[in-house]
Amino acid sequence: MKKKSSPPTEHWRIPRKHPRAQLLTQVESQTSGATSIGRTENISQGGLLVYTRETFDASTNVIVRFNLSPGRLIEAQGKVVHVQVGMQMGIQFSQVTDGDRKAITEFVREACE
């Protein structure tokens, strides 16, 4: 008798700490020795997803620069927390000014309404 298999569960997924909002804009990621230009896919108060061919290794400290909205440049320090080499990297913010964090929080809140 053949045993029925149950559908795969996604218990391995870690719940998100922060809601995400779509943000499609160019982003520059810079380390002490290299720069990568890509585009964001989404953003949260905790970080952002960057599509780029020039990915950095996980745990690399970076400075990211991007426009949250026209005329609103964000510059933040972060760390690469996951990578698909040559495709994308997730960057977790580690230092963001209070004004920039407030702007990001407001942007995400309005996008999620």
pLDDT tens digits, 40-70: 989 999 999 999 999 999 999 999 999 998 8
pTM value is 0.81
What pLDDT, on the 0 to 100 scale, is given for residue 21?
A: 87
Residues in the chain with pLDDT values less than 70: 1-17
Residue 43 near residue 23, CB atoms below 8 Å: yes
- Print the domain residue range for 70: 21-108
What pLDDT, on the 0 to 100 scale, is given for residue 95?
A: 97
Here the CATH number for the domain that contains residue 78 is: 2.40.10.220
What pLDDT, on the 0 to 100 scale, is given for residue 57?
A: 95
Q: Is 42 a domain residue?
A: yes
Report the alpha-carbon distance of residue 43 to residue 21 in Å, rounded: 5
Q: Write the DSSP string, 95-112.
A: E--HHHHHHHHHHHHHHH
